[in-house]
Structure 1
Amino acid sequence: MAVCARLCGVGQSRRCRRRQRNNQQDQGSDSDMDEEEEEQIVGQRLGDAGGSSSSGGPERGAATAGPSDAGGEYGSSGGHVNRGGFLDRRSTGPPHPQSLAELPPELLVEIFSLLPGTVLPNVALVCKKFRQILNTETIWRRRCMEEFGMKEDLRKMEAGGVSSQDLYVKRVNPRVKSGRFMKLLPDYEHMDYRDVYTHLLHPYRHILGLWQPDIGPYGGLLNVVVDGLFIIGWMYLPPHDPRVEDPMRRRPLFRIHMWESKKATVECMYGHKGPHKGDIQTVKKDEFSTKCNQTDHHRMPGGRQEEFRTWLEEEWGRTLEEIFHEHMQELILMKFIYTSQYDNCLTYRRIYLPPAMPSDLLQPGLFKGTYGSHGLEIVMLSFHGTSARATKLTGDPNVPAGQLTLDVDLSRPVVLPELEQQRNIDELSRLVLGVHEEVQREVEQQANGTPATVRRPAEGACGGAGGAEEVVAGDAACSDSCHSGNSSSNNPPEALPFVLPFGVMARNEVYPRTCRKCFYGTGLIAGHGFTSPERTPGLFVLFDEDRFGFIWLDLKSFSLYSRLTDHLPHAHAPNMERFEAMLRNMQSWTS
């Protein structure tokens, strides 16, 4: 025990470090190891002392240590008593930690802040020290910021995107005749980031992202985001027809917030009477539903007529007299009657943004486009090998949401003729229909099992006919300048003049007068109720990174599409396989 006291410096006590390190070994092995370690330490000290002079001082005798060395080291200041009872100038700092629990608290806070919030409750079960450190606000604040995008201070937070009418209400105070405004927000001074993470953000993390509401053929686009201390479901509405390049409009459908400590509250935002009680239910994976518990808040004093006029102004930006003048009353009234049935309960299915690849013609994503008398609709542009596809997120009674509205073959470029010839619809039809007939022949040959014949690019493509080399069907039918991956290079293709042919109708007369490339494609048309669907040939026109168009030859109409530039977090597909499976499910929902 004397050896043990000399090694650890505390003597015979219950906290002897020597005993703690060897509590699972018997007493005989302890004594043997003590002697061996003491001889090893003493030998090392004597070797070190041979090359250095002693500092002077009272000599201290030891059974195995050199007197002069021991006295010199023991008498120096600023040293550390090592396990042999000597002062070691080289080890003046604290001993190296042997486990995670021996680290300083500030280092543990930094380490725990890097862990996902889902594993922190398990860390708290390790020991009392970890549990106490996990009460630090810094850890949970960092988790809220990195996982959910909260960038504001909890004590100074303002709920962005919510009007003051929703946040404040005038309450009459009997003692103050003039009244006062009281916030419709909880007392955040008594909350902490751990409560917000544990009872608000983490339980509802599965509903963050993009969703498509099940509203029959009309569909929609819902974006659930963390907005301040709220989780808000924003319904995206296209701009008023035909202003396709205007920003998207948003309307809140529901919100979730911490009204009381350790309790989240769901409120329905539909209607014109302010927030009221609601509920959210998770049906299954990638699907949830909302329910309103106070549907009387959706009704207006003037009855259905007032509700229709208000909806018409918000949805279409028109009055009742204007839609009768434009002969749109049938389509608009049908949509109002159909969508108003879903004001108390809605089911949403998750959708993903398409993953981007270096070979894509342009950045995939969401676009808003013109669809004649149906107004503006939202489509999702994605790339699949040598084809570009646009899928409807919002639809109409003819072609519902979820259907493939455009299918563009990027291996079949078409170069437009001179500007004067572009005005002739017959010349454009001859170019596009020539490619269409060639595609039909190749499909028939593949169906019959005969080998595909070689083909040439469309007349005028890649510098004109006759000068182009023959290309085997299925390969890229153009030179490097027409390859779909060239948009990612630093030198974009030269802009070419573009004009719509005479006789082609366009809802928006303000369209780009230059384009980069043109490709053959097909568009989906159908009768009312999605009857007799048919893919008809057309021309895909790429204007720039944020705009493209499509000329429907059979309909003699032009659709202009503009990119949706809103920031959409938690919306990107994890991989291409998951995205393609989502597209197949979308088509099955509305088929």
Structure 2
Amino acid sequence: MAVCARLCGVGPARGCRRRGAAREQRRGGAGDSEPDTDTDPEEAGGGGSEEDDEAAERIEGGRPLPHPAEPGPAGRAPLSILELPPELLVQIFGSLPGTDLPSLARVCTTFRRILRTDTIWRRRCREEYGVCENLRKLEITGVSCRDVYAKLLHRYRHILGLWQPDIGPYGGLLNVVVDGLFIIGWMYLPPHDPHVDDPMRFKPLFRIHLMERKAATVECMYGHKGPHNGHIQIVKKDEFSTKCNQTDHHRMSGGRQEEFRTWLREEWGRTLEDIFHEHMQELILMKFIYTSQYDNCLTYRRIYLPPSSPDDLIKPGLFKGTYGSHGLEIVMLSFHGKKAKGTKITGDPNIPAGQQTVEIDLAHPLHLPDIENLRDFSELSRIVLEVQEQVRREEQEQEHRQEEEDSSQPAAKPLGEEGAEGENTAAGAEGSTQDKAPASQPFVLPIGVISRNEDYPRTCRICYYGTGLIAGHGFTSPERTPGVFVLFDDDRFGFIWLELKSFSLYSRIKVAFQNAEAPSREAFDEMLKNIQSLAT
């Protein structure tokens, strides 16, 4: 602000205070009041009189505004930013971040008056939040672009992005986005079991918009009776909660039984009679979720999409896939050096959301037998268990070497040598992994391995040794068991659970989620730790 003050000539050197005192005397001492110290963008260009409004309209209409700066000699370059044409000031101010404009408005009355120009805020809405609507139609309701920016977009900016609802072990996936002149929370659901290649289903849970200039309106969108009154509270930086204030809108005239049947048709694509005997326990649990989760306050915690690297086996991201008798789940695949991890975004009564469902050892590719021998489950099991034993020995040797190094306390290597050695080792590991990956090879599931989806690819690129997490109901007695990670192509992979004799097929979620990128690798790793700790 000090820089802006010098540019506009505020201070004794330009006589700004003397001119201000003179203006106050001419107005009978009724000068403009200074804005408060709140940096909310709503304050930028706020207040003012009808004269200020007319001046702002002249600026936006392209007619010059008489400025208070004293005119200089003809042909002299302007020494103060106040001597620039108002139209140029509008362009300059419109290129600044909206969060900087309140400070700029406190520099002087002229800046504050210019910042009432809606062209500035229309540009900030478009460039910062992607609002491409024709904002001029807001004039009908008396809502300005500054209102949209300050009372809607800026106020609720912290809830934009990807979130995981805290619904016991079940989790979920919510994307809060700017959609036209609304902020909408879209809940994403996997396709109907077992069609993993089908697109995701989605439905709005809440929306926020400006009905009038006073404040934004929050509406719950759940149920069949249309939007109704809701509430959003930002608990802390990466957490917020929602509450429906009219839960009677969630009820149907036919009562609970009709609600449940409608939910089954929408969520499962089947009738109660079709699946009752097949999934009785799951239906009871899911019915509990349906009837309770939207009646109470729901908490959401932020999640990020995994960052990518040119050395990754495939592009990391979110995948939808089959998981035993629990239907389809959403898993996040991320890469961490020589390891790849699959973290559950949606969970089940056995393995809750947030847990690491699979871990892939990229340092140990598996060489599958020919297609005939691959049909023999015992042959595949022998290959995997041999690699498991090799991994166990390598871990023991590594621990032994580490103990010896700690006891002997060798002299530290020069930084340059140590860094070079680490780079060579990493490069060698990456190179060996890529060199061993064939273009494709035939693939078939061994006889006896259960798969909910028989329409899996019959060729694969490469397989790796991995472990999968299994547990009893309520996440009792969890343990990691050996398995096979099968990479089919850039968008599909599978995992064979040896102990369960089960196969899971995963397909990439091809949705352009907004505001979902992690600010740094460290922030993503910290997010993974947090959601896993909450799941235990």
| TM-score normalised by length of structure 2 | 0.79
Cα pair 2:276 2:283 within 8 Å, conserved: no
1:172 alignment partner in structure 2:
none
Structure 1 residues 554-589: Cα deviation after superposition (integer angstroms, max 9, x where no partner): 111111111111111111111111111111111111
Is the alpha carbon distance of 1:586 and 1:23 closer, same or farther for their aligned partners in structure 2, counting shifts above 3 Å? closer
Residue 357 (structure 2) aligned to one of 405, 424, 429 = 405
Whichever residue aligns with residue 528 of structure 1, its letter is H
What is the SS of the residue equivalent to 2:211? strand
What is the SS of the residue equivalent to 1:483? helix
1:194 alignment partner in structure 2:
146
- 1:476 deviates by 8.0
The correspondence of residues 106-255 of structure 1 with structure 2, limited to 5 A, is 106-155=87-136, 188-255=140-207
Pairs aligned (count): 449
What is the SS of the residue equivalent to 2:98? coil
- 1:447 deviates by 4.5
Residue 323 (structure 1) aligned to one of 275, 299, 306 = 275
CA distance in 1, matches of 2:123, 2:386: 60
Cα pair 1:411 1:476 within 8 Å, conserved: no
2:316 alignment partner in structure 1:
364
Residue 494 (structure 2) aligned to one of 528, 549, 573 = 549
Q: Identity over the aligned pairs, expressed in percent? A: 65
Unpaired segments ≥5 residues, structure 2:
1-8, 17-72, 405-424
What is the SS of the residue equivalent to 1:572? coil
Cα pair 1:411 1:477 within 8 Å, conserved: no
- 1:107 deviates by 2.5
Cα pair 2:331 2:346 within 8 Å, conserved: yes
Structure 1 residues 399-427: Cα deviation after superposition (integer angstroms, max 9, x where no partner): 01000001001111112222222222122
Unpaired segments ≥5 residues, structure 1:
1-16, 25-91, 157-185, 453-473, 487-491
Is the alpha carbon distance of 1:477 and 1:433 closer, same or farther for their aligned partners in structure 2, counting shifts above 3 Å? farther
CA distance in 2, matches of 1:23, 1:272: 65
Structure 1 residues 98-157: Cα deviation after superposition (integer angstroms, max 9, x where no partner): 23222222332222122111111111111222222222222211211121111121246x
CA distance in 1, matches of 2:265, 2:165: 22
CA distance in 1, matches of 2:83, 2:314: 54
CA distance in 1, matches of 2:312, 2:291: 40
2:259 alignment partner in structure 1:
307
CA distance in 2, matches of 1:481, 1:413: 10
Higher helix share: 2
What is the SS of the residue equivalent to 2:378? helix
What is the SS of the residue equivalent to 1:256? strand
CA distance in 2, matches of 1:22, 1:536: 77
Within the alignment, does 1:502 sit opposite 2:447 as a pair? yes
2:414 alignment partner in structure 1:
none
Whichever residue aligns with residue 353 of structure 1, its letter is L
Within the alignment, does 1:297 sit opposite 2:278 as a pair? no
1:101 alignment partner in structure 2:
82
Whichever residue aligns with residue 474 of structure 2, its letter is G
Cα pair 1:281 1:288 within 8 Å, conserved: yes
Cα pair 2:141 2:212 within 8 Å, conserved: no
1:335 alignment partner in structure 2:
286
CA distance in 1, matches of 2:365, 2:322: 24
1:262 alignment partner in structure 2:
214
Q: Which has the higher contact order (CA 8 A, sep 6+)?
A: 2
- 1:333 deviates by 1.6
Is the alpha carbon distance of 1:482 and 1:419 closer, same or farther for their aligned partners in structure 2, counting shifts above 3 Å? same
- 1:477 deviates by 8.3
CA distance in 1, matches of 2:205, 2:108: 44
Cα pair 1:412 1:477 within 8 Å, conserved: no
Cα pair 1:355 1:572 within 8 Å, conserved: yes
Structure 1 residues 173-216: Cα deviation after superposition (integer angstroms, max 9, x where no partner): xxxxxxxxxxxxx8755322111001111000000001111100
CA distance in 1, matches of 2:294, 2:275: 24
- 1:237 deviates by 0.6
- 1:21 deviates by 7.4
| TM-score normalised by length of structure 1 | 0.72
2:409 alignment partner in structure 1:
none
CA distance in 2, matches of 1:126, 1:354: 43
